[in-house]
A and B are shown apart, each in its own frame.
Chain A
Amino acid sequence: MSNILEVNAISKRFGGLIALNNVSLVIPQHSIVGLIGPNGAGKTTLFNIITGLYRPDQGHMLLLGKRLPVGQAHEVARCGIARTFQNIRLFGHLTVLENILVGRHLRSTASVLGAIFNTAHTRQEEREMRDKAFYFLNYVGLSHRAQDYAKTLSYGDQRRLEIARALATEPQVLALDEPAAGMNSKERQDLAQLIQRIKEEGVTVLVIEHDVKWIMSLCQQVSVLHFGQVIAEGDPHLVQNNAKVIEAYLGRGQHHVA
């Protein structure tokens, strides 16, 4: 299996705080990779660097062997990395359908002139976009809410809409920042199934999660961040029993992860 994303020696500092210290990761293609670690370990910071929201102080990233632009979120999205946010960030005053249509931005071309003169091409594209948008809404089971305001959705539906919006960009890598946060076990199960399905469609998924059990059953590979450094990575079961990981999660003196 070849690697889709390589993170090479990334460091990031906020004032005196070292958020990430020489972090390297390798994400194999067509896999689900988990990123775990205690609070404040630097998981979200790493996500923000990969998706171009922050600029790393050092290091670089490769997507399919090509240098990924740094610090330019829209360029990263264009390269094929889409993401969701820990604290859901939908376009609240747009409808559910419009949220997905915004997600189709990169997959459409209509310009200002095309829009104001309503050219044949624009109309054609708009029709196709709508069809495609409904495909993604169906995919996450939200097509019945298409005309509702995004902010009126329930918490779980908002999470799914955010995933659908990211999928609508047709990414190669989907980065999910704590997608299961605040969900009950039934919802977590459904989410795991959805993520499996996404992976089977050929999208590589990178997931941040606190729930170790959930992520161990979902992922083929897990990386553990602790104080801005990768302390373990590889097969979930091996990582689970890694002494450093146990120490990081439970402190000294404990020997087994429950």
Chain B
Amino acid sequence: MKKSLPLIVLACLLPWLVYVFIGQSWVRILDFSLLYLMLSLGLNVVVGYAGLLDLGYIAFFAVGAYSYALLSSPQFGLHWPLLVILPIGALCAGVFGVLLGAPTLRLKGDYLAIVTLGFGEIIRIFLNNLSTPINITNGPQGISEIDPLHVGSFVFNHSSALMGISVPSVIHIYYLFLLAVIVTIVFSYRLEKSRVGRAWMAIREDELAASCVGIHTKRYKLLAFGLGATMGGLSGGLFAGFQEFVSPESFTLMESVMILCMVVLGGMGHIPGVIVGSLLLSVLPELLRESAGWQKSLLGSVWVDPANLRLIMFALALVIMMLLRPEGLIPSSVRKKELHHE
């Protein structure tokens, strides 16, 4: 823990450096990276620890986001406080996680992936269509005018003045998200080193042998689903309050795949790997998004749609990564040791 102190200091200074030297829009990208990091840490519990391949993880993010949106917007005229809705959203997502997990417990690997993918799509289709006969989700238009993230009279989404320095809203949000991320990391780390974490990893390694040492495999798998979903729901709530707008478009399969890739790219089941993976994959594609400029200066015109290019590079990275370094960029030290032995 002591070794991570310089990292925390750096993380605290980072938004100011970025704000001063690059610009506000990049601080916003950092905010999103932190959200993605939270999601990756949540999915890491399901995929990395328990070894359950979940391709519909974004659904829990959606449940959290819509819970926030419905309880804190003109949609139903409710404006509940943040500290009430965030836990409610997380809880709802957790319940969904258990509900979706329960029927899939017997499934393995690929089958589980496809079924969770199906669940994710079902939730999105419902979000898209639950505008009739009673308007709950407002359909594809989504829900807007959501209350911003606020505690008491302090609104994170508005800039403030601190000792004469004006603090932009994106930096408030950054610190809020950073706090959430640090708490998530500490919890994840403790889980990993605990009886519960070991039970998950035992299931991942050999489910049958795990049950023979007395691990109630079904219960622990459900626990992983539920806990992972809860973490997803929490980030969903933060997302809704940050954006002040949600629509089904934000919760596509692509997003689930993206988060899975973040977990896999750095090194599954290993927190530093997950951190590096999600930061890389949320920041690098943004650089490509800005490629229109250099395409123009280099080639004379925009040859490849930057959004397109971003996804192509992303897909290539996935394939090449798996072919060249399937254990991830930063595998755990034990795994490195293994590579030395062999």
Contacts and interface: CB of A to CB of B under 8 A. Distances in A.
A103 B213 contact: yes
25 contacts: A53-B211, A74-B215, A90-B206, A90-B209, A91-B201, A91-B209, A92-B206, A93-B201, A102-B198, A102-B199, A102-B202, A104-B195, A105-B213, A109-B195, A110-B196, A114-B194, A115-B190, A115-B194, A116-B187, A118-B190, A122-B194, A148-B337, A149-B335, A152-B337, A152-B342
Contacts of A165: 213
B191 A116 contact: yes
A77 B194 CA distance: 21
Taking residues whose C-beta sits less than 8 angstroms from the other chain, chain B's interface range is: 20 to 34
Nearest to A102: B202
Given A91-B201, A105-B214, A152-B338, A73 B196 contact: no
Interface stretch (A81-89, A221-229, A242-250): A81-89
Contact of B198 (A78, A98, A151): A98
Interface of B: 187, 190-191, 194-199, 201-202, 205-206, 208-217, 223, 227, 334-335, 337-338, 341-342
A80 to B, nearest CB: 10
Contacts of A157: none
Nearest to B184: A116
Given A112-B191, A169-B214, A149 B338 contact: yes
Given A112-B223, A112-B227, A149-B334, A169 B213 contact: yes
Contact of A112 (B196, B210, B214, B335): B196
Contacts of A83: 212
B196 A166 contact: no
A239 interface: no
Interface string A3-31: 00000000000000000000000000000
Contacts of B206: 89-92
Contacts of A115: 190-191, 194-197
A158 interface: no
Contact of A53 (B201, B208, B216): B208
Given A94-B202, A102-B198, A116-B187, A53 B212 contact: yes
A85 B206 CA distance: 12
Interface residues of A, number: 47
Given A53-B208, A74-B211, A115-B191, A101 B217 contact: no
Nearest to A151: B338
A93 B335 contact: yes
A184 interface: no
A136 to B, nearest CB: 12
What are the 6 tightest A-B residue pairs by CB atom distance, in nearest-first order?
A: A115-B194, A77-B214, A91-B205, A73-B211, A106-B214, A89-B209
Interface string A223-240: 000000000000000000
Contacts of B342: 152
Contacts of B194: 110, 114-115, 122, 126
